[in-house]
């Protein structure tokens, strides 16, 4: 989860650095986000310094709000960075008459669901079996918990 969070935040900060350095101007086709170069840009360096010097002393939302003016995680910078690639892929798929996605065959799916004894939970097919804890397993878990509690002198 942290990996996905950091990727989204990385592009959000990158957009702020590019905007501050003048390398990126929204709605200006001459200065798109994916062509931004913040190398040796003092304005970008100052923002990055402000972000880094606070460390974990404050909540990340507060630091982000104070430094770049955005206090929430926002994936629009990631989408904006990859928009040219997305448009190119869309055009290539149209040019080559490629279909992207899945073809739904309701009869086949319905038949396979019925024959496989699948259950539908929240719109998804689930083959998971409900776990039943037997009394001996419950006893084992309870006794293990009591041993740990006594070891750390939590229970007399």
User: Could you list the pLDDT tens digit for every one of the 156 residues in the chain?
Assistant: 778 889 999 999 999 999 999 999 999 999 999 999 999 999 999 999 999 998 889 999 999 999 999 999 999 999 999 999 999 999 999 999 988 877 665 555 555 555 555 555 555 544 444 444 455 556 566 666 666 666 665 544
pTM: 0.63
Say how far apart CA 49 and CA 13 lie, in whole Å. 12
CA angle 55–57–62, rounded 5-degree value? 90
């Amino acid at each position: 989860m942290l990996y996905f969070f950091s990727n989204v935040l990385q592009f959000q900060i990158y957009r702020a650095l590019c905007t501050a350095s003048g390398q990126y101007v929204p709605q200006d086709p001459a200065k798109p986000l994916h062509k931004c170069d913040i190398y040796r840009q003092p304005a970008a360096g100052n923002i990055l310094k402000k972000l880094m010097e606070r460390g974990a002393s404050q909540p990340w939302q507060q630091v982000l709000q104070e430094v770049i003016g955005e206090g929430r995680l926002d994936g629009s910078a990631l989408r904006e960075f990859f928009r040219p690639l997305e448009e190119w892929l869309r055009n290539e798929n149209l040019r080559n008459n490629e279909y992207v996605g899945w073809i739904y065959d309701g009869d086949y799916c319905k038949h396979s669901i019925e024959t496989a004894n699948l259950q539908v939970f929240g719109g998804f097919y689930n083959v998971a079996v409900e776990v039943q804890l037997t009394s001996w397993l419950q006893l084992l878990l309870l006794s293990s918990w009591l041993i740990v509690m006594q070891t750390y002198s939590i229970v007399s």
